[in-house]
C-alpha cells in the first residue's frame, strides 16, 4: 500500500528558554498513514497533536528519526517545496488564514505563488470553490462570511494547490454546529471523491467517529489506533488519559456497569437506539 | 423587590439607516435571579454576543433598557461604570487578551481598576487563582509561558477577581479536551455556589449547557425563541434543529427509542438516560 506519511522513530523537543530544560514531546513515535485514507488524530491538550501535524509539511523538523511525506525526507532542504506542495495545512482560526479582500483572490494566493499562468489559476480557483460549495460567494468579502464559510474558503485555498494530503488542525473548534457540519461534509467529500488523504486533528469525538481510522496520542506515544469502533470501545483507556468516548458509547458503558451487557460499538444515535431497543423490547 | 437583572424590550440595530441595516436584537425581554445558571444557545448571528455586550454596558440600547437591581445601567456615568464591575464578561478565547508581565499582574488588573487597596487586591488575586485551580507558584511567571489551558484559566481568574455578581462567559470550553472542559465547568459552578453569583454561559455544546444550566435561553433571529428549563426546551427538538442548533445526542437516542415504540420521554443527560432505561428494564438502578 502507498504511504502518504511515514513517521519513523520521531524525536522532538522544544528548546527550553534560558535555563529551563527542553520540553520533550516525542521520544520514539512511529506512525504510518496510507494514501487516500481519512485519519483522525485525538489526544488531550498538550499531547503533541499539533506538533506532529507541523512535521507533516516541514514547519518543524525532527530532532531525531525521520518523517517521510510521499517518500520524501522532510528534513531534506531540497525537497522542502515538493513536500509543501504535497501536504496542505488548515488551522483552527479561519481569520488568521485569510489574506485577501475578495474570496476568489484569497483562494488564488496559493496557485499564484506556485507560479501558474493566469488561465490555470482561474481554473483551479473555480474548481476549488465549487468543491467546497463556495463558488457563489467568489466575489464576496471574506470578513462578512460566517465562520463555517470562512473555513471552507481556507480549505479551498489549500485544495487550489492540489495537494495529495490535507492536514486540518482543529478546523471546527471555533464554529457553531451548522458550520461544523459544513466543514465535516466538505472534507469527507474531498476524501471520498478526490481521494485526497485527510488527517483531521480534533477534540470532537463525533467528528473523529466519521474517520476511517482513529489514532489516539498520549504522552508522545500512540495510545490507541484502529477503526472508530475499535478505539471508542476502549472507554477506560480514554478516560484514563482525559478523553471521552462519544455520548452513545458512554451511555452503553454506564448501563453495562448495571448489568445491561450492551456492545460498545454504537457511534450514532440511531444505532444506539436500535441496540437499546433490541435489549429492552418486550 | 426588583429582580436582580431585568432586560426590557431591548432592541439593537447595526448600521441603522444604511442598506446594511441589520437588527441584532428585536424587542428582547427577560429577568435573571441571583444564583441562577443560565445557558444561552443560538447559531452564529442570532444575537447572543450583542445581548452579552448589553448586559454590562458595552453597547447602549437603541430602545429598551437593562436594569440592575431596579436601576437603569445607563442612568448616569457612575452607574454604568459600576455595572462593568458587577457584571463580568469572559469573551471567546480570552487567553488572547492576556497582556501583563506576570500572571499576578494580569489577574490584578481588574481589581486595581476598581480602586481597591493592595491588601484587598492581593486577597482577590489569590482567591481567584485558587478558584480556577492554578498553582500559586505560577503567579510570578509570564502568562505567555503557560499552556493554552492554563492561559484560559488565568483569563477567567482575571474576571473572577472583580467578584462579579453576574458572570457571563462566551464559549468558555472551546478548544479544550474533555477533561479540560469538565474542569473549567466545575470551577465556574464552584464560583456560582461560593458567591451566590448568577452565571450566563453561551455555548454551542448542547451536552454542556443541558447538564450545567437550570434554565436555557434560545436565541433565534434576534429574538428569544425559548426561555425555559432544559427539559422543556429540548422537547422542541424539531424546532431547534430547524434553527440550525444541535440537540444533545442522548435526546436524539431517546427520540428514536420513542419512535421505535418504547414508552420513554426525551431526556438530555446521561444520568436521566440511565435512570429511565433502568426503570424500563424493571427494577431499580442497582439491579
- Write out chain A's pLDDT in tens, 282 residues: 589 999 999 999 988 777 778 889 999 999 999 999 999 999 988 788 989 999 998 999 999 999 999 999 999 999 998 999 899 999 888 888 888 899 999 999 999 988 899 999 999 999 999 988 899 999 999 888 888 888 899 999 999 998 999 999 999 887 778 888 888 999 999 999 999 999 999 988 989 999 999 999 999 999 999 999 999 999 999 999 989 999 999 999 999 999 999 999 999 999 999 999 998 886
CATH number at residue B113: 3.40.50.300
Cα distance from A22 to chain B (closest Cα, Å)?
Answer: 13
Domain range for residue B53?
5-242
Q: Is residue A84 part of a domain?
A: yes
Q: Do A251 and B273 touch (CB under 8 A)?
A: yes
Q: Do B277 and A274 touch (CB under 8 A)?
A: no
Q: Is residue A166 part of a domain?
A: yes
> Looking at chain B, which runs of residues are DSSP E strands?
5-14, 22-32, 37-41, 63-68, 71-72, 87-90, 166-170, 198-202, 215-220, 223-228
Residues B91 and B35 in one domain: yes
Nearest-CA residue of chain B relative to A174? B174
Q: Is residue A273 part of a domain?
A: no
B260 to each of A3, A274, B257, B264, how far by Cα in Å? 45, 8, 5, 10
| Among A residues 106-125, those touching chain B with beta carbons less than 8 Å apart | none
Domain range for residue A103?
3-245
Q: Is residue A156 part of a domain?
A: yes
Cα distance from B123 to chain A (closest Cα, Å)?
Answer: 30
Percentages helix, strand, coil for chain A (3-state, rounded to 5) are 45, 20, 35
Residues B136 and B32 in one domain: yes
Instruction: Write down the residue that cell numbers 466519521 correspond to.
Output: A210
Q: Do A251 and B286 touch (CB under 8 A)?
A: no
Q: Is residue A265 part of a domain?
A: no
Q: Is residue A53 part of a domain?
A: yes
Per the structure, how many domains does chain B have?
2
Residues B90 and B127 in one domain: yes
Residues B180 and B286 in one domain: no
ipTM for the predicted complex comes to: 0.80
Q: Is residue A101 part of a domain?
A: yes
Residues B266 and B209 in one domain: no
Whether A16 contacts chain B with CB within 8 A = no
Nearest-CA residue of chain B relative to A148? B44
Q: Is residue A257 part of a domain?
A: no
Per the structure, how many domains does chain A have?
1
Residues B234 and B122 in one domain: yes
Residues B207 and B269 in one domain: no
CA neighbor of B213 nearest in space, from B25, B32, B23: B32
Residues B175 and B267 in one domain: no
Residues B170 and B272 in one domain: no
CATH number at residue A90: 3.40.50.300
Q: Do A276 and B257 touch (CB under 8 A)?
A: yes
Whole-structure pTM value: 0.84
Residues B130 and B90 in one domain: yes
Residues B196 and B266 in one domain: no
Residues B79 and B181 in one domain: yes
Amino acid at each position: 500500500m502507498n504511504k502518504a506519511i511515514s513517521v519513523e522513530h520521531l524525536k522532538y523537543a522544544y528548546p527550553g528558554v534560558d535555563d529551563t530544560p527542553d520540553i520533550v514531546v516525542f521520544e520514539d513515535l512511529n506512525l504510518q498513514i496510507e494514501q487516500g485514507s481519512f485519519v483522525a488524530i485525538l489526544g488531550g491538550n498538550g499531547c503533541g497533536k499539533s506538533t506532529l501535524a507541523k512535521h507533516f509539511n516541514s514547519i518543524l523538523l525532527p530532532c531525531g528519526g525521520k518523517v517521510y511525506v510521499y517518500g520524501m525526507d522532510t528534513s531534506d532542504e531540497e525537497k522542502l517545496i515538493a513536500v509543501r506542495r504535497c501536504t496542505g495545512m488548515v488551522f483552527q482560526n479561519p481569520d488568521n488564514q485569510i489574506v485577501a479582500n475578495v474570496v476568489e483572490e484569497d483562494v488564488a494566493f496559493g496557485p499564484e505563488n506556485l507560479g501558474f499562468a493566469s488561465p490555470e489559476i482561474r481554473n483551479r480557483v473555480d474548481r476549488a470553490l465549487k468543491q467546497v460549495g463556495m463558488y457563489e460567494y467568489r466575489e464576496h468579502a471574506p470578513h462578512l462570511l460566517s465562520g463555517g464559510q470562512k473555513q471552507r474558503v481556507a480549505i479551498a485555498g489549500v485544495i487550489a494547490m492540489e495537494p495529495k494530503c490535507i492536514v486540518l488542525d482543529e478546523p471546527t473548534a471555533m464554529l457553531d454546529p451548522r458550520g461544523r457540519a459544513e466543514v465535516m461534509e466538505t472534507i469527507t467529500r474531498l476524501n471520498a471523491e478526490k481521494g485526497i488523504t485527510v488527517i483531521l486533528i480534533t477534540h470532537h469525538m463525533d467528528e473523529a467517529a466519521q474517520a476511517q481510522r482513529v489514532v489516539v496520542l498520549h504522552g508522545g506515544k500512540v495510545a490507541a489506533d484502529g477503526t472508530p469502533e475499535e478505539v471508542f470501545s476502549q472507554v477506560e483507556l480514554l478516560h484514563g488519559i482525559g478523553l471521552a468516548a462519544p455520548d452513545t458509547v458512554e451511555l452503553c458503558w454506564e448501563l453495562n456497569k448495571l448489568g445491561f451487557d450492551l456492545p460498545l460499538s454504537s457511534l450514532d444515535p440511531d444505532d444506539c437506539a436500535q441496540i437499546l431497543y433490541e435489549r429492552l423490547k418486550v | 423587590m426588583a429582580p436582580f437583572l431585568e432586560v426590557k424590550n431591548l432592541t439593537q440595530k447595526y448600521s441603522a439607516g444604511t442598506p446594511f441595516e441589520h437588527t441584532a436584537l428585536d424587542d428582547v425581554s427577560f429577568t435573571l435571579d441571583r444564583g441562577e445558571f443560565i445557558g444561552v444557545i443560538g447559531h452564529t448571528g442570532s444575537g447572543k454576543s450583542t445581548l452579552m455586550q448589553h448586559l454590562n454596558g458595552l453597547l447602549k440600547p437603541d430602545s429598551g433598557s437593562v436594569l440592575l437591581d431596579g436601576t437603569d445601567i445607563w442612568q448616569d456615568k457612575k452607574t454604568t461604570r459600576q455595572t462593568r464591575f458587577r457584571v463580568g464578561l469572559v469573551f471567546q478565547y480570552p487567553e488572547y487578551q492576556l497582556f501583563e508581565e506576570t500572571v499576578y499582574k494580569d489577574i490584578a488588573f481588574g481589581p486595581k481598576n476598581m480602586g481597591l487597596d493592595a491588601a484587598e487586591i492581593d486577597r482577590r488575586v489569590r482567591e481567584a487563582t485558587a478558584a480556577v485551580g492554578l498553582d500559586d507558584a505560577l503567579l510570578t511567571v509570564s502568562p505567555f509561558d503557560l499552556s493554552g489551558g492554563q492561559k484560559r484559566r488565568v483569563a477567567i481568574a482575571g474576571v473572577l477577581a472583580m467578584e462579579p455578581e453576574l458572570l457571563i462567559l462566551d464559549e468558555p470550553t472551546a478548544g479544550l479536551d474533555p477533561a479540560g472542559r469538565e474542569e473549567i465547568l466545575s470551577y465556574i459552578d464552584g464560583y456560582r455556589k461560593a458567591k451566590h453569583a448568577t452565571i450566563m454561559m453561551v455555548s454551542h455544546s448542547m451536552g454542556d449547557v443541558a447538564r450545567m444550566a437550570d434554565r436555557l435561553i434560545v436565541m433565534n433571529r434576534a429574538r428569544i425563541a425559548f426561555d425555559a428549563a432544559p427539559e422543556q426546551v429540548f422537547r422542541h427538538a424539531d424546532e431547534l434543529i430547524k434553527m440550525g442548533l444541535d440537540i444533545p445526542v442522548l435526546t436524539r437516542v431517546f427520540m428514536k427509542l420513542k419512535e421505535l415504540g418504547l414508552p420513554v420521554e426525551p431526556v438530555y443527560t446521561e444520568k436521566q438516560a440511565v435512570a429511565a432505561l433502568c426503570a424500563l428494564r424493571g427494577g431499580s438502578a442497582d439491579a
